Chains A and B, each alone.
Chain A
Amino acid sequence: AQSVTQLDSQVPVFEEAPVELRCNYSSSVSVYLFWYVQYPNQGLQLLLKYLSGSTLVESINGFEAEFNKSQTSFHLRKPSVHISDTAEYFCAVSKTGGATNKLIFGTGTLLAVQP
């Protein structure tokens, strides 16, 4: 079975500062990795994903995440955050070759960007 750990429930940061949201996973099989973002009063939107190939993946709004197989991590980073990045961020995994693309989610990290 797979599991996902997001140790930080909340990360406060000042505008234009760098940020890292941590995600570690546990799995005995190969996985796909995802970061979703949830803005206030909205559903989840895919931010970025790792399926295969380059271990560094990027989103269109400046976030990036690096798949580290040896450390079983998929941390999310942004070099300079904006107020508009305030949201809850969820890390998720699914088993490669699974029957349903079922996702296992972490408990989420609230990124609170302050002016």
Chain B
Amino acid sequence: DVKVTQSSRYLVKRTGEKVFLECVQDMDHENMFWYRQDPGLGLRLIYFSYDVKMKEKGDIPEGYSVSREKKERFSLILESASTNQTSMYLCASTEAPGQGLYEQYFGPGTRLTVT
């Protein structure tokens, strides 16, 4: 079974703090994704990575950065947390296209509250 784990289920941070959200997958997937989920807006893509050290902006990258130093780990960084970044953050992974796996596997999510 594919397993995607996220470092925290719940996190409370103060405005202006630097926040790290970690995601690890155990299936040697090339592609990894970070989404945020807000009521009524569904899932919106923040950043994705298609290989180690490779990244591309998603639909809402402002205020975020990412790091992928190892294939299994994809980190989301909030450089200076703000209250409008209070949200549920979901990590996902999948194989590169053409390898037969088209769906993404999701972690349990991190609910971040910025006060």
Query: A residues engaging B (CB < 8 A)?
Result: 6, 9, 32, 34, 36, 42-46, 49, 51, 90, 94, 97-103, 105-108
Count: A-B pairs, CB below 8 Å? 58
Decide if B43 is an interface residue (CB 8 Å cutoff).
yes
The 14 listed contacts between A and B (C-beta, < 8 Å) are A34-B103, A36-B106, A42-B109, A43-B106, A49-B102, A49-B103, A51-B102, A94-B102, A100-B48, A101-B96, A101-B97, A102-B48, A105-B42, A105-B43
> B58 → chain A, closest Cβ, in Å?
8
Query: Please, how many angstroms separate the alpha-carbon atoms of A43 and B50 in the complex?
Result: 21
B-side contacts of A98, CB under 8 Å: 97
Q: Are A43 and B109 interface neighbours, CB within 8 A?
A: yes
Set B31, B90, B101: member contacting A43, Cβ < 8 A: B90
Query: B residues engaging A (CB < 8 A)?
Result: 4, 31, 33, 35, 40-45, 48, 50, 56, 90, 92, 94-97, 101-109
Q: Are A107 and B42 interface neighbours, CB within 8 A?
A: yes
B-side contacts of A106, CB under 8 Å: 42
Q: Are B103 and A108 interface neighbours, CB within 8 A?
A: no
A-side contacts of B104, CB under 8 Å: 101, 103
Question: Main SS of the interface on chain A?
Answer: loop
Smallest Cβ-Cβ distance to A94: which chain B residue: B102
A-side contacts of B107, CB under 8 Å: 43
